Amino acid sequence: MKMNKIESKFHKTMAKLVSKSVGQKRSIAIFSLKRSGQHAVIDWILDNSSKSYLFLNDVRMNCDPFFNMNGVTPFKSNRALLYFPNSMVKKMLPRHLLAYNFEDPDIEQVFCVNKNIGHSGRHDNVLVLRDIFNCFASRRRGLLHFKESSRVSFLIKDLWKKHAREFLGITSYLGENCIKISYNDFVFDEKYRTSCAKYLNINNIELSKKQTREGGGSSFCNDENLNFSDLMVRFRDLYGVDYIKNIFKNDRELFDLNFKIFGKTLANYKNEILRYFK
C-alpha cells in the first residue's frame, strides 16, 4: 500500500513537470498541406538561427506538441542537449527558438496554438502555400495513401481552398499578423525571400538545394544542376489521372484562388493548366 502511495505521488509530480515548459525567446508555428514545400521553408528558417533551436515535426492540432508528433523524423535541433529522445527532457531544456509544424490542418479548428509550450517573447504563425496543381502532383508522387484515394483528394482540395482564403485575407483564423509564404515565389525570388525574412526578423542566407527529409519531400536534392523550374511543371504528372481531373473540373473558386495567388509564377503554364483541368 505504501509503495502504491509513493508511485502515485511520483506520477503526480512527473505530471506537473510535464505540464510545464521552460519557454523560449521565440516560437514559430507553421501551417501547411503536406508536399507544399514547407520543409524547405522550415530549413531556411532554422539555417538562419545561430542560437539554439528545437523543431517538432508534424504535431497534432490543439495538443501538447512535445507529446503529439506524427512525423517520420519527429524533431531536430542544433544543440546536443536538445536532442534527447525523451519528450519531457526536450520540453524542459532551454532553447532560443521553438518551431513546430502542422501538416494538413483544418485551420478553422485552430485554437490554443501556443499553449503548452511555455512563454515566448515573440510568437508567429506562418502559413505556407503551394499552387494546388503542383501540390497535388507532388502528393501523388510521394504519398501512397493519396495516390489510392479519391475521397482523400476531395478533402485535401477543400483544405487547400481554406488555406488559400486565409492566404488572401478572406478569413483570419490564424490571426491578422499571420506571415504568409508562397512556396512558388519563395523558391524563385530572392527579393521575396528577403521580404519574408524581414517579416520573420531573421537573416536571409542563400537558399540551399538540399534534400528535406523530415516529411519525405523531394523538391530539393543534392544535385546542384537541379532546375527549380521543374517544380512548376510537376502538374504534368497528373495527366491521365481522371479522378483528380474530375476533382478540379468546374470548380471556379479553386481556379480563381489559385491564379490570384500564383498567377505570376504559373504565367507560362496557365493556358496549359486551364486547357487540361478546367
SS3 string, the chain, reads: CHHHHHHHHHHHHHHHHHCCCCCEEEEEEEEECCCCCHHHHHHHHHHCCCCCEEEECCECCCCCHHHCECCCCCEEECCHHHCCCCHHHHHHCCEEEEEEEEECCCHHHCCCCCCCCCCEEEEEEEEEECCHHHHHHHHHHHCHHHHHCHHHHHHHHHHHHHHHHHHCCCCCCCCCCCEEEEHHHHHHCHHHHHHHHHHHCCCCCCCCCCCCCCCCCCCCCCCCCCCHHHHHHHHHHHCCCHHHHHHHCCCHHHHHHHHHHHCCCCCCCHHHHHHHHC
Residue 185 counted as domain residue: yes
pTM: 0.84
Residue 2 counted as domain residue: no
Residue 94 counted as domain residue: yes
How many structural domains compose the chain? 1
Residue 7 counted as domain residue: no
Residue 37 counted as domain residue: yes
Residue 12 counted as domain residue: no
Q: How far apart are CA 278 and CA 269, in angstroms?
A: 13
Q: How far apart are CA 252 and CA 116, in angstroms?
A: 41
One digit per residue, the tens of pLDDT, for the chain of length 278 reads 454 665 555 445 544 554 556 789 999 999 999 999 999 999 999 998 888 898 989 888 878 888 776 655 567 777 766 656 667 777 877 889 999 999 999 999 887 777 778 889 999 999 999 999 999 999 888 765 555 567 888 999 999 999 999 999 999 999 999 999 999 999 989 999 999 999 999 988 766 555 344 444 555 444 444 566 788 999 999 999 898 999 999 999 999 999 999 999 999 999 999 999 98
CATH number at residue 59: 3.40.50
Residue 162 counted as domain residue: yes
Q: How far apart are CA 158 and CA 278, in angstroms?
A: 17
Q: Give me the pLDDT at residue 200, please.
A: 95
Domain range enclosing 42: 20-277
Residue 172 counted as domain residue: yes
